[in-house]
């Protein structure tokens, strides 16, 4: 009966996953070290990453990332997981004082892969992936901007961009991404059903406001040289500061991340972040 109910739920909600609903990874960061919470922590260009009690969305700890210069970054990698056609990601992010006038052209907020080795393979025969920047000012933006005004999703030789509408008010009752507020960030990805088929899904919510809604994404594309990928298999949280034409920050800036969650199905519950079951096996 439980299997029947789960199958019916997936059918009704349209979740394009070959597995029963199950969390893949979940952490409130309240216990353990970075090395015990994540499969791998890859930091570079002088970035500082730690578990901090300075800010927390829930409990008393969050990941703190300090960016001292351009291209500094960190990749917080959960262990790779069995291939799934659909992937739901939830995280909470907070930007400390100093980002005003220091927002980069782009700040990566996660990256997603259809290979288990956190890569997209070789040019011309690549595997579907996405580089997510929920902070995106464009190359023609202003270096003195007080807010982050848009997003950019890179899906291998194609950028999908959007600007946050001035009428879209987030949980602080203000538009755009600003300092001093915990933003709930959710991403829902469904691979297209075949190479060159325009039925892939990409949706993003910030503080429960739908800011990107695409149901025609060609993740696997022969013309763009990315024909491969049977399902999402790995990802990381965090990312690098990319000042590009803006250059690096004028001062070190701090970003906090908390309450991380991955699932094969669209679990937008507003309740506490569920914990992943031990010894998860997705068939």
DSSP classification of residue 180: S
Per-residue confidence (pLDDT) for residue 3, from 0 to 100: 33
Q: What is the pLDDT along the chain (283 residues), one digit of tens a residue?
A: 333 333 333 333 334 434 455 799 999 999 999 999 999 999 999 999 999 999 999 999 999 999 999 999 999 999 999 999 999 999 999 999 999 999 999 999 999 999 999 999 998 899 999 999 999 999 988 999 999 999 999 999 999 999 999 999 999 999 999 999 999 999 999 999 999 999 999 999 999 999 999 999 999 999 999 999 999 999 999 999 999 999 999 999 999 999 999 999 999 875 445 444 444 433 3
Walk me through the domains of the chain, giving residue ranges and CATH numbers.
16-263 (2.60.120.200)
pTM of the model: 0.89
Considering only CA atoms, which of 85, 119, 106 is closest in space to residue 189? 85
| C-alpha 100, offset from chain centre | 22
**87, containing H or E segment:** strand 86-95
- 198 DSSP assignment: S
* CA pair distance 270, 276, nearest whole angstrom: 17
């Amino acid at each position: 009966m439980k299997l029947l109910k789960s199958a019916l739920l997936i059918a009704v909600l349209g979740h394009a996953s070959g597995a029963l609903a199950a969390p893949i990874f979940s952490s409130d960061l309240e216990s353990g070290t970075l090395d015990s919470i994540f499969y791998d922590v890859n930091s570079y260009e002088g970035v500082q990453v730690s578990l901090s009690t300075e800010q927390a969305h829930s409990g008393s700890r969050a990941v703190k990332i300090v960016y001292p210069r351009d291209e500094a970054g960190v990749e917080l990698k959960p262990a790779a997981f069995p291939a799934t056609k659909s992937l739901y990601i939830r995280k909470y992010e907070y930007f400390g004082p100093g980002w005003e006038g220091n927002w980069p052209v782009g700040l990566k907020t996660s990256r997603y892969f259809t290979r288990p080795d956190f890569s997209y393979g070789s040019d011309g025969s690549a595997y579907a992936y996405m580089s997510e920047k929920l902070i995106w000012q464009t190359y023609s933006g202003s270096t003195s901007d007080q807010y982050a005004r848009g997003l950019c999703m890179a899906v291998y030789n194609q950028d999908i961009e959007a600007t946050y509408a001035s009428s879209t008010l987030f949980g602080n009752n203000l538009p755009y991404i600003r300092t001093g507020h915990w933003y709930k960030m959710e991403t829902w990805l469904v691979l297209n059903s075949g190479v060159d088929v325009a039925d892939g899904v990409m949706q993003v919510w910030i503080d429960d406001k739908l800011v990107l809604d695409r149901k025609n994404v060609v993740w696997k594309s022969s013309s763009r040289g990315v024909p491969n990928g049977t399902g999402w298999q790995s990802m990381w949280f965090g990312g690098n500061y990319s000042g590009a034409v803006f250059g690096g920050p004028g001062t070190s800036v701090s970003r906090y991340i908390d309450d991380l969650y991955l699932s094969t199905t669209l679990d937008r519950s507003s309740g506490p972040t569920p914990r992943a079951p031990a010894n998860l096996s997705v068939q």
